[in-house]
Amino acid sequence: MKNVISAVCVKCGHEIEAKPDITTCPKCGGIMDIKYDYNYIKNTVTKADMADRRENSMWRYQEFLPIEGNSKSPKLRVGWSPFYEAKQLAEVIGVKELYIKDDGINPTASLKDRASAMAVVKAEEAGRDTIACSSTGNAASSLAGNAAAAGFKTYIFVPSRAPKGKVSQLMIFGATVVSVDGSYEDTFRLSAEAIDRWGWYNRNAAINPYLMEGKKTVALEIAEQLNWKMTDYVAVSVGDGCTIAGVWKGFKDLYAAGFIDRLPRLLSVQAEGCCPLNKAIAEGKDWEPMEENTIADSIAVGVPRNADKALNAIRESNGVVVNVSDEEILSAMKLVGRTCGVFSEPAGATGSAGIKKAVDLGLIPHDASIVAISSGNGLKDTVNAIKAAGEPILLPPDMGALLDAFKKIGGPQ
Amino acid sequence: MKNVISAVCVKCGHEIEAKPDITTCPKCGGIMDIKYDYNYIKNTVTKADMADRRENSMWRYQEFLPIEGNSKSPKLRVGWSPFYEAKQLAEVIGVKELYIKDDGINPTASLKDRASAMAVVKAEEAGRDTIACSSTGNAASSLAGNAAAAGFKTYIFVPSRAPKGKVSQLMIFGATVVSVDGSYEDTFRLSAEAIDRWGWYNRNAAINPYLMEGKKTVALEIAEQLNWKMTDYVAVSVGDGCTIAGVWKGFKDLYAAGFIDRLPRLLSVQAEGCCPLNKAIAEGKDWEPMEENTIADSIAVGVPRNADKALNAIRESNGVVVNVSDEEILSAMKLVGRTCGVFSEPAGATGSAGIKKAVDLGLIPHDASIVAISSGNGLKDTVNAIKAAGEPILLPPDMGALLDAFKKIGGPQ
């Protein structure tokens, strides 16, 4: 990898060779970060080169990614997801410029496909045939799908609260699925023990530094889709911390390589019922474990495994933090659906919910430009969608019944 | 529209101007078909032009589409869905070359987005502000999503058996949804009466000839993704008949414009419990209504509204018909998931189920090349996915329990 210098521990600074199966720091146990040679990148690729590329997936950014030149292409088409200007939503929220990055349009319907596609490439480079992870759901389903397409075996640990939609994906993709009757933390611990015991390739994003490199491609795409003119803010829903850290890494890489001339501020949005990272930022102290009380299962992480990187990212970006209630999340699901035609799962709409709240609270000015990342498809959790949007009018096949029903709701007569 | 000559009735041949709000033949009530000037198309666009286009959506084929030059672009990114070579699946099925067109990766997760995106453009050209349809689910959710993004009001009629996933989409997108306690035919009739009464723009695919023109883009993409070298067969799951008719129209257009040099044979796959069109072909007579007994709700259409065009398409292509049981559909969902990493709803996996059966029965030779269209995402119907693939292993967060469970399923120790 000519573009990669090494892997560096974010805690103690220890530097090691970026082999495909590195995990945490061998010295202090801290999380590693991939270090690039930005001069090499600058001299190898330009914005004009990028504009000429036909590869409509995350792999269009090969110079920014830690992959060997001879690695096999992944099988599923991940990334290059739609990016919409959301004028109607901007108006409702009262902000000048608003964009939605719809990452629910990925092979397994979430942003996590970016990390899992990377995991499959690195597992192949490492010569493994089995990949494992623990996940609140999306990391798992994305691993199961991407691994199935590439012929890998998978062991997946999910907390038993994971929504049916996500679990059904795992089963269809042929993963061995262990549903753990406990918290995400319990699930994570059991998976770590099993991975140690059987030597599987580790797709836990807070352990394996390459996964964040996959996730960062969402930021690379946002910047390119904005024609390299960054917005003032980028809103990210935050659970484990890996996604917001990945987003930040992406923008920093582009800045260092001269592709963008300013960095956005991050808006870190957590659920009120589970916001250890935002709490740490707001109170200016270390994070502490919290319970996991929110319908937004994908970000219900009481013990964030990537706290260091996430807190660094928010602080470095001079970020804003805001917590939203479950009701605000449900209401954002409906609002984004009605105004943009984008159906987000609860955690996917949390970013938009946070923008609304931050604008209402005056944390973000009305003349700001913002991107909201919708990190997962609403079809993953239809129970909460029905909760957000209600049930249809049920009637017999009869015009009289229709007229009666329309009279009640103020419909046409 | 310089590329469009007229609209022609498929029944009586009556020809009318292709206005944006035409429905069925004013003379005989037959379904209209859009007639193109293939010389104009030939002289306007080449395969090389196409290769240069950056538009990664169905609108890259503007010369083949019945839209005004000044029409507003639709808001959601529909089409240019992934196309995968399915080597492992080909091996299991015992066929030389097999491809999956994953149309579940569309904004509202089905092929129907192609028709609904077209409906929104034509409704706008017609100066309407409200669009309505009846649907088994996907046409409805795609209309709701595409219309919401473009600022249209929608009235949608679904049979009450439509899966929760699809209904939740409608509600999130802000449609007025009427759930009809009756068959698809009952639902269709009530919607037709309401559309007549209130003058809404009609998005019923068997009434509005433009919708098939949207659907045909899946065929245009398949051909381009095959580098214009057609396979021997293309497998399509068939309900109302509009999709298979659209697919055929797409290939015929490309052939007439000199983009492909041979036409594929269609493999029409229906569910055993609801196969009026395949029955008509197999028995060489007119179609007759059937009950709607299948889990594949999207193709459970006992009274196919586009029978004429569908039967023409199958016959013209020298097509093959095969019916599959619900068990075969469930088993194909699992097989496609495990081998390709593609999660299809029951009707989406019906094409693949049909290929397997047709090969097993010797209707398709082992040395054939085939494309299967996965028309909808499995997340739309997770109840059937769980039925297909089973439930995960549930256990407490404890290594002993994990070892016990693995012992039972022959896992590692």
User: What DSSP letter does each residue of B45-70 carry, written as one string?
Assistant: --HHHHHH----SGGGGGGGS---TT
User: Chain B partners of A178 at a C-beta cutoff of 8 Å?
Assistant: 392-393, 395, 402, 405
pLDDT at B96: 98
Q: Which of residues 137-176 of B touch A (CB under 8 A)?
A: 144-151, 158, 160, 164-165, 167-174, 176
Indicate whether B136 pLDDT > 90.
no
Are the C-beta atoms of residues A302 and A183 closer than 8 Å to each other? yes
Averaged over B370-389, what is the pLDDT? 93
The secondary structure of chain A, three-state, reads: CCCEEEEEECCCCCEECCCCCCCCCCCCCCCEEEEECHHHHHHHCCHHHHHHCCCCCHHHHHHHCCCCCCCCCCCCCCCCCCEEECHHHHHHHCCCEEEEEECCCCCCCECCHHHHHHHHHHHHHCCCCEEEEECCCHHHHHHHHHHHHHCCEEEEEEECCCCHHHHHHHHHCCCEEEEECCCHHHHHHHHHHHHHHHCCEECCCCCCHHHHHHHCHHHHHHHHHCCCCCCCEEEEECCCCHHHHHHHHHHHHHHHCCCCCCCCEEEEEEECCECHHHHHHHHCCCCCCCCCCCCCHHHCCCCCCCHHHHHHHHHHCCCEEEEECHHHHHHHHHHHHHHHCCCECHHHHHHHHHHHHHHHCCCCCCCCEEEEEECEEHHHCHHHHHHHHCCCEEECCCHHHHHHHHHHHCCCC
Given pLDDT bands bounded at 50, 70 and 90, which one contains residue A281?
Answer: very high
The identity of residue B193, as a single letter, is E
pLDDT at B185: 85
pLDDT at B164: 76
**Dihedral angle sign, alpha carbons of residues A83, A88, A90, A92:** negative
pTM over 0.80: yes
Indicate whether B69 pLDDT > 90.
no
**CA–CA separation, B158 and B142 (whole Å):** 13
Give backbone dihedrals phi and psi of B176, rounded to 5 degrees, phi first.
Answer: -85, 115
The reply to whether B400 touches chain A by the CB within 8 Å rule is: no
Please give the share of chain A, as a percent, with pLDDT higher than 70: 100
The per-residue pLDDT for range A299-308, each reduced to its tens digit, is 988 999 889 9
Mean pLDDT value across chain B: 95
The reply to whether A403 touches chain B by the CB within 8 Å rule is: no
pLDDT at A165: 77
- Directed axis angle between helix A326-340 and helix B138-150, to 10°? 90
pLDDT at A203: 92
**Which residue in chain B is spatially nearest to A200 when comparing CA positions?**
B412
pLDDT at B265: 98
Are the C-beta atoms of residues A374 and A341 closer than 8 Å to each other? no
Indicate whether B135 pLDDT > 90.
no
Per-range mean pLDDT, top range of A180-184, B149-153, B299-303:
B149-153
Please give the share of chain A, as a percent, with pLDDT higher than 90: 88
pLDDT at A4: 98
Q: Which of B195, B157, B108, B135 is nearest to A392 (CA)?
A: B157
Exposure letters B320-341 (e unless 16+ CB within 10 A, then b): bbbbbebebbbbbbbbbbbbbb
Give backbone dihedrals phi and psi of A36, rounded to 5 degrees, phi first.
Answer: -105, 160
Indicate whether B66 pLDDT > 80.
yes
Answer whether A337 sits within 8 Å of B56, measured CB to CB: no
Hunting for tokens 């269609």 — which residue is that?
Answer: B266
Averaged over A349-373, what is the pLDDT? 98
Q: Which of A296, A286, A171 is nearest to A236 (CA)?
A: A296
User: Chain B partners of A338 at a C-beta cutoff of 8 Å?
Assistant: 148, 172-174
Indicate whether A6 pLDDT > 90.
yes
Answer whether B179 sits within 8 Å of A392, measured CB to CB: yes
Query: Order of strands, edge to edge, in the sheet holding A233-237?
Result: A83-85, A97-102, A369-374, A233-237, A265-271, A320-324
The reply to whether B102 touches chain A by the CB within 8 Å rule is: yes
Among B75, B102, B389, the residue with its CB nearest the CB of A168 is B389
The reply to whether A43 touches chain B by the CB within 8 Å rule is: no
The reply to whether A378 touches chain B by the CB within 8 Å rule is: yes
Q: What is the ipTM of this complex?
A: 0.94
Q: Which of B190, B42, B64 is nearest to B118 (CA)?
A: B64
Averaged over A369-386, what is the pLDDT? 94
Answer whether B341 sits within 8 Å of A149, measured CB to CB: yes
Averaged over B292-308, what is the pLDDT? 90
The per-residue pLDDT for range A310-321, each reduced to its tens digit, is 999 999 999 999
Top-confidence residue, A411 or A353: A353
Q: Which residues pair with B321 in a beta bridge?
A: B268
Are the C-beta atoms of residues A225 and A194 closer than 8 Å to each other? no
User: Chain B partners of A73 at a C-beta cutoff of 8 Å?
Assistant: none
Indicate whether B260 pLDDT > 90.
yes
Indicate whether A266 pLDDT > 90.
yes
**CA–CA separation, B344 and A172 (whole Å):** 9
**CA–CA separation, B164 and B179 (whole Å):** 12
Name the token pair of B389. 């693939």
Rg (CA), chain B: 21
Answer whether B158 sits within 8 Å of A392, measured CB to CB: yes
* Residue B98, CA distances (Å) to B74, B87, B140, B266, B366 in order: 32, 7, 30, 14, 11
The identity of residue A247, as a single letter, is V
pLDDT at A156: 95
**Which residue in chain B is spatially nearest to A53 when comparing CA positions?**
B54
The reply to whether B182 touches chain A by the CB within 8 Å rule is: yes
Given pLDDT bands bounded at 50, 70 and 90, which one contains residue A74?
Answer: confident
Strands B153-159 and B130-134: parallel
The per-residue pLDDT for range B18-61, each reduced to its tens digit, is 999 999 999 999 999 999 999 999 999 999 999 999 999 999 99
Given pLDDT bands bounded at 50, 70 and 90, which one contains residue B279?
Answer: very high
Please give the share of chain B, as a percent, with pLDDT higher than 70: 100
Given pLDDT bands bounded at 50, 70 and 90, which one contains residue A163?
Answer: confident
Answer whether B145 sits within 8 Å of A180, measured CB to CB: no
pLDDT at A233: 98
Averaged over B137-144, what is the pLDDT? 93
Averaged over B102-115, what is the pLDDT? 97
Are the C-beta atoms of residues A298 and A374 closer than 8 Å to each other? no
**CA–CA separation, B209 and A301 (whole Å):** 50
Indicate whether A72 pLDDT > 80.
no
Q: How far is CA B354 from the centre of its chain?
A: 15
pLDDT at B211: 95
pLDDT at A166: 80
Indicate whether A228 pLDDT > 90.
yes
Torsion of CA A24, A26, A27, A29, to 10 degrees: 30
pLDDT at B205: 78
Indicate whether A35 pLDDT > 90.
yes
Q: Is A324 left (phi over 0), alpha (psi -120 to 50) or beta?
A: beta
Given pLDDT bands bounded at 50, 70 and 90, which one contains residue A186?
Answer: very high
Averaged over A346-369, what is the pLDDT? 98
Given pLDDT bands bounded at 50, 70 and 90, which one contains residue B290?
Answer: very high
The per-residue pLDDT for range A319-343, each reduced to its tens digit, is 999 999 999 999 999 999 999 999 9
Per-range mean pLDDT, top range of A206-210, A268-272, B73-77:
A268-272
Q: How far is CA B246 from the centre of its chain?
A: 8
User: Chain B partners of A180 at a C-beta cutoff of 8 Å?
Assistant: 395-397
Indicate whether B167 pLDDT > 90.
no
pLDDT at A135: 85
pLDDT at A73: 74
Indicate whether A242 pLDDT > 80.
yes
Indicate whether B196 pLDDT > 90.
yes
**Helix H segments across B78-182?**
87-93, 112-125, 138-150, 164-172
pLDDT at B166: 80
Indicate whether B128 pLDDT > 80.
yes
The per-residue pLDDT for range B324-371, each reduced to its tens digit, is 999 999 999 999 999 999 999 999 999 999 999 999 999 999 999 999
